[in-house]
Structure 1
Amino acid sequence: MKINERFTWAVDVLNIKPSDHLLEIGCGAGILAEQIGGRLTAGTITAIDSSAAMIKIASRKNIANAHFITSDFASAALPGNAYHKILAFNVNFFWKDPATELALIRKYLKRNGKLYVFYQAPYDITITAAKPIEEKLRSQGYKIVDTIFKKLSPASAFCIVAT
């Protein structure tokens, strides 16, 4: 099965260490979790999605070191100070009022942990599309470490890395 270019790019950006503990918000069918899980030996990937159908599909992949949870992010019972990296790909709470979710992310991140916000629109975008999310992150006390833009098919994408 050919993996969508955005997922292989995301794995490269995440620079996963074998002992990393990651949380993916909005994992869908587990495609990215599957790519991440294959790089972990002592680490884990916890993947959450509000769709029971998507979690069922993701769980069937039998990904080593993966845990799947059916829940919306704000209601999930996750351990605090547990994750080196928290990631979300095309998750819309960053476009709305993200205060609750960003406070939870801060609670779940390990000291010096990083948040990775990936976005690929259904149409081509430029790096300026990242500005509204960067502003929301800053307004909630996050520091932008990097904003990475990548020309992908069928449309460009970006990743905002924040602490």
Structure 2
Amino acid sequence: MRKFFEYNWHVRDDWFEWCKQLSKEELNKKRCGGVESILHTLFHITEVEYSWLRGIQGKEDIQFEFCNYATLEKVQLISDELRDENAKFLYSNFDMNKMVSVPWDKAKYTIDEILHHIVAHEIHHIGQLSVWARELNLAPIQAHFIGRRIDILSENK
């Protein structure tokens, strides 16, 4: 499971680099689907990952307002900062079958279910970014898992 988080982080970083070619207007332009803009989508996947992982740990959900992070640099910075905390948890020992609940949902889920949900959620939104890239006549970031050298990332943890 950790490799899929690393994969998502790797792809997200590639999208941050890809975004540097766009104007502020293009990054924030309302689009059809997703959370309506490229920049807000990157913020959203970062914030959702963090919320769910804090929820798994029984920690308070910290709400981040997009208006406070409405530049590419700020979204990338918060992604990097929250990733550090997320990685510490993901590389710790925990019971994947433990049932947990989160403040925004009355149901209980296993940690394994939630981790799969987080990974699928980001992949879904990365697909939306790919559609928007093509609408801009730009090549999207390649989504290949093979060839990304995820093992190298794992070795550094």
Give the TM-score taking structure 2 as reference length: 0.28
Give the TM-score taking structure 1 as reference length: 0.27
| Bigger fraction of residues in strand | 1
**Structure with larger Rg:** 2
| Bigger fraction of residues in helix | 2
Larger relative contact order (Cα-Cα within 8 Å, sequence gap ≥ 6):
2
